[in-house]
Amino acid sequence: MEITDSTKRKGTSVEFLIISKLLKYNFDVYIPVADTSGINIIVRSPKGKYVEIQVKSRIARGGGRVFDVKDFKPRDTYFICCYLIEEDEYWLIPSDEYYKHAAHNNNKRRLDTTKLDFLMNLKGKRA
SS (H, E, C) 41-65: EEEECCCCCEEEEEEEEECHHHHCC
Query: What's the mean per-residue pLDDT of the chain?
Result: 84
Predicted pLDDT at 72: 92
pLDDT tens digits for range 37-89: 889 999 998 788 899 999 999 886 655 688 999 989 999 999 999 998 888 88
Predicted pLDDT at 51: 95
Asked whether the predicted pLDDT for residue 16 surpasses 80, the reply is yes
Predicted pLDDT at 38: 86
Q: Which domains can be identified in the chain, with CATH numbers? A: 5-123 (3.40.1350.10)
Asked whether the predicted pLDDT for residue 25 surpasses 70, the reply is yes
Predicted pLDDT at 78: 95
Q: How would residue 126 be classed by pLDDT, with cut points 50, 70 and 90?
A: very low
Sign of CA dihedral 7, 75, 51, 99: positive
Phi then psi dihedrals of residue 125, to 5 deg: -120, 55
Predicted pLDDT at 127: 39
Distance CA 126, CA 122 (A): 9
Lowest mean pLDDT, pick from 67-71, 104-108, 120-124: 120-124
